[in-house]
Structure 1
Amino acid sequence: MEAVTKVEETAAVDLDALLNAGEGPMVTLVAGETRLMARRAVLAARSPVFSAMFSHDTLESSSNEVTITDVEGPVLRELLAYCHTLRTPHPSSMTPQVLAAADKYDLSGLKTECEQQLASLLTVESAAATAVLAVRHTCPSLTKAAVAFIKANFQVLATQGWADAVHNQPKDVVEVCRLLGSGFGKEETRRLIEAFEEGDVEELLELIAAGADVRTRDSDGMTALHFFAEMGYVEVVRSLVERGAEVDARNSSNETPLHFAAIGGHSPIVRLLVACSADVNARNCYERTPLQFAAWHGYEETAAFLVEAGADTEARDKDGRTYLN
């Protein structure tokens, strides 16, 4: 409590010095329909971003008006309140937005306090969004807390919050998945490889939920995505892709999951992989493409889709054959 009092007293003295140094110019901050006035000296003292903005020949410096993008009016009010008092706002539904804004304007103290608040409020429903937020805004302590929470509560991966994160921030989710898989032991990795080699869906999904790396390969360079694409398990393939599986992963024969889906004529999986940016013209060690595999095995629907998706109909393998012969 004494430490908090000292911080508040320091903030008050610091602010008094800024305000008593002279009237100083004012600046208008605009966030949507919200327009708030503040002293330039206060903003510059608190935020290196504002300081640089006002000390150079910028539009904001000359016009004394700053448009704050990606920040709503209520969040802007919280930022200004913190700049004047160094008091962190109470936890609320706005805390994630306040953290993002604090990161943008380099208000490190506010960002740290928001991290601590969010870490203390983790729930099964909020953990995915919090983990993604922490990764996106480089919050080490919050990232660690969120990842640990998810590892201890695997049901997070079955929530709408996780599904929304996968849909809206796929790159950040890939990083979260990588962190979930870090520290995965040799025995668990052996079980994972055994699960996808044997087509054990239940064991595979259980291990992935526990943090297994979906990019794990067996001795032939095969991933789970290779195996389940070949077997035609659409929902398993979808789940693997959502959790960061490499759609163009290569095995020891330089074949991708799309090769395996095509050779089995699994059109739904071929469509799914192509929608996830799989290379329709990937070539294996014999220069053979997914289109050639589909056509040679008589899967006309799959072959037609690959042609429509941009597959090279003139491609020839090492023996000079096209998909037509």
Structure 2
Amino acid sequence: MAAVKEVQLTAAVNLGALLDAGEGAVVILVAGETRLAAHRTVLAARSPVFQAMFQHDTLEASSGHVTITDVEGPVMRELLAYMYTLQAPELPGMAPLLLAAADKYGLSALKAVCEQQVVAQLCVENAAASAVLAVRHSCPKLTAAAVAFIKANLHVMGTKGWADMMRNHLEHVIEVSRMLSDPPPSTRTLPAEERSRRLIQAAKWEEVEELRALLAAGANVAAKDLEGRTPLHWAAERGHVEMLRSLVEGGPDVGTRTVRRNVRQGHTLWGPRHVMGHEVFTLDDFGNYVTGQLPQFSDGPNTRDRYMRTPLHYAAENGRTEAVAFLLEVGANKGATDNYGRTALDLARQNRHQQLIDILSRR
């Protein structure tokens, strides 16, 4: 709290000094077709790069125009807004570009916020680009999260995004590949029981980076706590869709070559478990589908705790609309009842979650 107050006070003092600013206090930032007016004092106070630029005899310092060649206009606008307000924008789609710009201009606090936003939106399509971004701009948290995600979803290396990074950033892809060869040092020596305990804790406290690292290290997604809850139960209660996706796509530890049916093809990720007993689809060395025994028995999104509740029960009870939609998409049984005979729809009605009532009623 003290740090927040200090930042707010600094902002007020710096902006207050602008009232007495004289001629030449404003410079024009030119980024493509975008032109932005800004006070030298603010730019220098926030960014060590601008500070050095205005302290020395540079063209920008004398002309009053600063041409920005490697930051797009909309990104530069958000960067400037942050320098005035010290409030980071919530624009997930712009986060990677804004992170790179924040790194260039030495805005470490903004860079950290953008790093968190990129971590939160990791998916198969952007994992390669996120990993390269992390390596290029020295982002340790994003690096760990992206590497853990790719380890848990090795098919990332067969995507167009990975191929694009290979063409354009080969040096950084090589560095990412090197990190993929070793498990995270904080988890690789842990006993299996401890990995399972930490996986449940990570889901409970929404520590998505830790959860992905543990999954990559082979933690048992079917592990249960004293109440019989699995990490899926906790992620559903918290409504954390990215954790749910990691847990479902990571699934039981059946080896790195396991391939589950694709949701987009109309099948559930856990379909083979229900259709073929304790079997899953895998690829042999020739790329052909084969089946194998599932070493860690789990009903995936339909797993139950000691009260016979599924993750869908917890998501519906707590009004987690996105989590409910995701669980239904990957095969959650909306008709499952708990010890009291209640379905997820019953809990949504009990807690007056009208949007969920509509979703669970029409499906």
TM-score interval (norm. to shorter): 0.5 to 0.7
SS in structure 1 opposite 2:92?
coil
In the TM superposition, 1:72-83 aligns within 5 A as 72-83=72-83
- Mark the CA change 1:4 to 1:152 in structure 2 (over 3 Å): closer, same or farther: farther
Alignment-derived partner of residue 43 in structure 2 = 43
Instruction: Identify unmatched segments of 5+ residues in structure 1.
Output: 186-205, 210-325
| Residues in 1 aligned to 2:2 and 2:257: alpha-carbon distance in whole angstroms | 44
- Decide whether the 8 Å contact of 2:29 with 2:38 is kept in 1: yes
SS in structure 2 opposite 1:71?
coil
Alignment-derived partner of residue 110 in structure 1 = 110
Shift of 1:5: 6.4
Once the two structures are superposed, residues 51-72 of structure 1 have per-residue CA deviations (whole angstroms, 9 ceiling, x without a partner) of 0000000111111111001111
Identity of aligned residues (%): 57
Alignment-derived partner of residue 121 in structure 1 = 121
| Residues in 2 aligned to 1:3 and 1:154: alpha-carbon distance in whole angstroms | 43
SS in structure 2 opposite 1:182?
coil
Indicate whether 1:130 and 2:125 are aligned: no
Q: Which runs of 4+ in 1 moved over 4 A?
A: 2-5, 206-209
| Residues in 1 aligned to 2:152 and 2:256: alpha-carbon distance in whole angstroms | 13
SS in structure 2 opposite 1:27?
strand
Instruction: Identify unmatched segments of 5+ residues in structure 2.
Output: 189-254, 259-363
- Mark the CA change 1:52 to 1:145 in structure 2 (over 3 Å): closer, same or farther: same
Once the two structures are superposed, residues 259-314 of structure 1 have per-residue CA deviations (whole angstroms, 9 ceiling, x without a partner) of xxxxxxxxxxxxxxxxxxxxxxxxxxxxxxxxxxxxxxxxxxxxxxxxxxxxxxxx
| Residues in 2 aligned to 1:73 and 1:21: alpha-carbon distance in whole angstroms | 29
SS in structure 1 opposite 2:27?
strand
Alignment-derived partner of residue 16 in structure 2 = 17
SS in structure 2 opposite 1:109?
helix
- Decide whether the 8 Å contact of 1:18 with 1:42 is kept in 2: no
Shift of 1:3: 7.0
Once the two structures are superposed, residues 112-132 of structure 1 have per-residue CA deviations (whole angstroms, 9 ceiling, x without a partner) of 110011111111111111000
Alignment-derived partner of residue 165 in structure 1 = 165
| Residues in 2 aligned to 1:52 and 1:69: alpha-carbon distance in whole angstroms | 18
- TM (norm. structure 1) is 0.54
Superposed CA RMSD: 2.8
SS in structure 2 opposite 1:93?
helix
SS in structure 2 opposite 1:125?
coil
Alignment-derived partner of residue 64 in structure 2 = 64
Alignment-derived partner of residue 6 in structure 1 = 5
- Mark the CA change 1:150 to 1:63 in structure 2 (over 3 Å): closer, same or farther: same
- Mark the CA change 1:79 to 1:58 in structure 2 (over 3 Å): closer, same or farther: same
- Mark the CA change 1:74 to 1:11 in structure 2 (over 3 Å): closer, same or farther: farther
Q: Higher relative contact order by CA 8 Å / sep ≥ 6: 1 or 2?
A: 2
Shift of 1:14: 3.3
Say which one has the larger Rg: 1
| Residues in 2 aligned to 1:164 and 1:178: alpha-carbon distance in whole angstroms | 18
Shift of 1:207: 6.8
Once the two structures are superposed, residues 164-221 of structure 1 have per-residue CA deviations (whole angstroms, 9 ceiling, x without a partner) of 1112211110000011113498xxxxxxxxxxxxxxxxxxxx8799xxxxxxxxxxxx
Which residue identity lines up with residue 67 of structure 1 in the other structure? Answer: T
Residue correspondences, number: 191
- Mark the CA change 1:182 to 1:102 in structure 2 (over 3 Å): closer, same or farther: same
- TM (norm. structure 2) is 0.48
Alignment-derived partner of residue 203 in structure 2 = none
Alignment-derived partner of residue 153 in structure 1 = 153
In the TM superposition, 1:169-318 aligns within 5 A as 169-183=169-183
Shift of 1:138: 1.2
- Decide whether the 8 Å contact of 2:119 with 2:146 is kept in 1: yes
Which residue identity lines up with residue 155 of structure 1 in the other structure? Answer: H
- Mark the CA change 1:22 to 1:171 in structure 2 (over 3 Å): closer, same or farther: same
